[in-house]
Amino acid sequence: MEVGVVVEVVEKRVVVVVVVVVVVIVVVVVVVVVVVVVVVVVVVVEVVVVVVVVVVVEVVVVEVVVVIVVVVVVELVVVVVVVVVVVVVVVVVVVVVVVVVVVVVVVAAAAVVVVVVVVVVVVVVVVVVVVVVVVAVVVVVVVVVVVVVVVVVVVVVVVVVVVVVVVVVVVVVVVVVVL
């Protein structure tokens, strides 16, 4: 009779030990899987953000350079045309000897040159403002993505810790009750 009781107690303890070991292994596997998934998600998000930022900045820089080159070339052509016209008019005026017309033409040419310079300055300022705004938007997007990723990681880690603690408490309670 006593041998049967001893065998029964030993069997209960073996079952409890096996259950505890299995539960601990399952918890460890779940924790490892969750951590690996979180790390992979974070790495993928960071890589995507970096690629997007690089592509956006490259596109903006190329567009800005093209705009500046086009504007400068057009404005230089306008200035050359104005200068040629002024020279031709001056030659004609000198031939005709009308000083008043020469003065008027020079003043008009100066006005055109001033307008050209103002247009170039305005275009460059607008392009610089656009670049600054685009870069600022990209930086804000990167910061928001990083903050979201960090929050997700923290939440996942807290949940994993809570699950581990609950499982450990349940296992301890089961062991105490059975033993």
**What is the residue whose two structure tokens read 């807290």?**
158
pLDDT of residue 155: 87
Q: What is the mean pLDDT of each successive set of 10 residues along the chain, which is 179 residues long?
A: 66 80 88 88 86 82 78 77 74 61 62 73 80 80 82 86 86 77
pLDDT of residue 49: 87
pLDDT of residue 112: 67
pTM assigned to the model:
0.46
pLDDT of residue 93: 61
Domain span at 11: 2-178
Distance of CA 98 to the CA centre of its chain: 65
pLDDT of residue 125: 82
Closest CA to 35 of 46, 45, 25, 43: 43
Q: Count the residues in the chain.
A: 179
- What is the residue type of 154? V
pLDDT of residue 2: 65
- What is the residue type of 65? V
User: How many distinct structural domains can be found in the chain?
Assistant: 1
Name the DSSP letter for residue 164.
H
**What is the residue whose two structure tokens read 């040629």?**
84
DSSP string computed for 100-130: HHHHHHHHHHHHHHHHHHHHHHHHHHHHHHH
The sign of the dihedral angle between the CA atoms of 83, 85, 86, 88 is positive
